[in-house]
Every structure is written in structure tokens, then in C-alpha cells.
């Protein structure tokens, strides 16, 4: 999986470099909400969009990982509780079973 991630990342970086060098002399105007920028290089707009996407994905991934961590801790706690209950019930069953066998032996 790591190799696949590295391969895809490399392809994206190579594509970004190619686009950046091909559009190095291209300029555009950017209107973002109430901000207006004149004669911004297209490669800079592409790079900043890429970085903004990375930040958004990082935030979403962090929230997801935190939720998963909380869920894992809660499930581990439930598993421990169920194991303790299983142990208690097994001991109770064995005690009752031993006492019944003792009565039948006499």
C-alpha cells in the first residue's frame, strides 16, 4: 500500500511540475471572495490550490482518525467488560455444576 501511495504521489508531483513549467509564462486574474489579484502566474494558482486541498484533506483525516481512536478505545473497554463477565459466569456455572455432581455422587 505504501508503494502505491508513493507511486501516485510521484505521478501527481510530476504532473504538477510539467504543468508548472508549461504554464510558466501564463498569467491570470484571480477573484477569491472579496479579494482580487491581478497577473498571478497560473503555476502559482495551481500550487496554492494543491496546498489548500492538502490542508483540507489533513483536517478531514485528523477528525476521522480521532473518531476512530475514540471508537477503538470504547470497543476495547466493552471487550474487557465482556471478558470479565464471561469469566464470572463461567466460574458461577462451574461452581453450580460441581455442586450438582457432588450431590449425584453421594
Residue 91 scores a pLDDT above 60: yes
CB atoms within 10 A of CB 43: 19
Q: Where do the domains of the chain lie?
A: 2-96
At 4-13, the pLDDT tens digits run: 787 788 888 8
42 and 23 Cβ atoms separated by less than 8 Å: yes
Give the CA angle between residues 50, 51, 53 to the nearest 5°.
65
* Grid cell at residue 54: 492538502
Residue 98 scores a pLDDT above 80: no
Would you state the pLDDT for residue 77? 97
H-type helices in the chain, by residue range? 2-22, 42-105
Amino acid at each position: 500500500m505504501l508503494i502505491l501511495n508513493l507511486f501516485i504521489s510521484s505521478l501527481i508531483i510530476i504532473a504538477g511540475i510539467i504543468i508548472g513549467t508549461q504554464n510558466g509564462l501564463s498569467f491570470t486574474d484571480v477573484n477569491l471572495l472579496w479579494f482580487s489579484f491581478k497577473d498571478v502566474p497560473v503555476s502559482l494558482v495551481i500550487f496554492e490550490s494543491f496546498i489548500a486541498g492538502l490542508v483540507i484533506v489533513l483536517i478531514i483525516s485528523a477528525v476521522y482518525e480521532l473518531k476512530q481512536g475514540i471508537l477503538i478505545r470504547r470497543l476495547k473497554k466493552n471487550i474487557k467488560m465482556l471478558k470479565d463477565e464471561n469469566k464470572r459466569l463461567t466460574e458461577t456455572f462451574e461452581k453450580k455444576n460441581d455442586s450438582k455432581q457432588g450431590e449425584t455422587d453421594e
